[in-house]
Amino acid sequence: MHFDSTDVPLNAQAETQSSAPVDFTMFTDALEDLRSFISQRINESNCEILSKVNATEFDIREDLLKQNDLLRQSLQNACRVLERQDFMKIKKVQREQDAKIAALDAQIAAIRNEQLDFQAKIAADILSLSTQIGDIADYIRIGDAKKGEIGSSSRRPPPVRVERRPLPTPTNQGESSSSHGRVLSVEEAAEMVREADRQADRREREREIEKRLRRLRRRGH
C-alpha cells in the first residue's frame, strides 16, 4: 500500500527528532494506528473480493441454470422428433399391413366367387342330369307299359341312348355295344351319370388347381 504525508506525519516526526528526543509512546501509538489502518484496509479488501466472488458465483450459477434449461429443451425436442419419426414408421408399417390384408381379402373374395360359380354350375349340371334321368325312367316305364299291352310277341322298345358326354364302360357288362349307343337300365344309367359327374368334378378341381398354381407362379415372378 502507498502512504503519504497525510497518513503518517513524517515531517512532524523529523522536526520532533531534530528538536526533541524520541518519544517511544508516540512511536508505539503510530505503529498501532498503522497496524489498525492496514487491518481495516485488508478487511475492506477481503469484503470487496468476497462480494465480487459471490457475484461471480451467482452469475455462473445463473449461466449454468440457463444452459441446463437449454439442454433439457434440446433433449425434449430431440425426443419429440424421434417419437414423430417412430410414429411415422409405425404408420407406414401399418399401412403396408393394411394393404396386404386388403389384397388377401380381395383374393379370398375372388376365390369365394369362383367357388359360388362352381357350385352353381354343379347344381345346374345335377339338375340337368336329374331331368335326363327322369326322362329316361319315364321312357322306360312307357316302354314297359306298351310291352305289357302288346304282349310277348311285340317288339322291344327302342334302346335308350346316352349321348350327353363320354361315359366309361362298366367291366361287368357283357353285352355288345352299337356304333351310336347301348341299351341301359335305369340303375346303369344312374351309375354312369354319377361316374361321369365324379370325373367332371375331378377335372374341374384339377383345372382350378392349375389356375391357382399359374397365378402363384406369376406372383412369384
Mean pLDDT of 189-211: 80
- Identify the pLDDT of residue 172: 43
Mean pLDDT of 135-149: 69
Please say which residue of 64, 85, 106 terminates a domain: 85
**105 and 214 assigned to the same domain:** yes
Is residue 176 domain-resident? no
Which range in 109-118, 139-148, 185-194, 204-213 is most confidently predicted, on average pLDDT?
Answer: 109-118
pLDDT digits (tens, 9 = 90+) for 9-25: 555 454 444 444 556 78
Is residue 5 domain-resident? no
Please say which residue of 85, 110, 141 terminates a domain: 85
**117 and 37 assigned to the same domain:** no
What domain range includes position 206? Answer: 98-170+181-220
pLDDT digits (tens, 9 = 90+) for 86-120: 888 888 888 998 899 888 888 888 898 888 888 88
Nearest to 9 by CA among 32, 27, 25: 27
**26 and 115 assigned to the same domain:** no
**69 and 102 assigned to the same domain:** no
pLDDT digits (tens, 9 = 90+) for 78-92: 888 888 888 888 888
Q: How confident is the model at residue 65 (pLDDT cuts 50, 70, 90)?
A: very high
**What are the angstrom distances between the C-alpha of 166 and each of 81, 130, 162, 196?**
73, 17, 9, 8
Is residue 166 domain-resident? yes
Is residue 33 domain-resident? yes
Is residue 175 domain-resident? no
**29 and 132 assigned to the same domain:** no
- Identify the pLDDT of residue 23: 64
**114 and 215 assigned to the same domain:** yes
**For residue 56, how many C-alpha atoms fall within 13 Å in the half-sphere facing its CB?**
6
DSSP conformation letters of 91-153: HHHHHHHHHHHHHHHHHHHHHHHHHHHHHHHHHHHHHHHHHHHHHHHHHHHHHHHHHHHH-TT
**125 and 40 assigned to the same domain:** no
Please say which residue of 19, 53, 85 terminates a domain: 85
Is residue 116 domain-resident? yes
pLDDT at 55 over 80: yes
pLDDT at 122 over 80: yes
Mean pLDDT of 126-154: 69
Is residue 91 domain-resident? no
Is residue 2 domain-resident? no
**36 and 133 assigned to the same domain:** no
Mean pLDDT of 120-141: 79
**For residue 67, how many C-alpha atoms fall within 13 Å in the half-sphere facing its CB?**
6
Check: pTM over 0.85? Answer yes or no: no
**53 and 131 assigned to the same domain:** no
Work out how many domains the chain is built from and give that number.
2
pLDDT digits (tens, 9 = 90+) for 145-179: 666 655 544 444 444 444 444 444 444 444 433 33
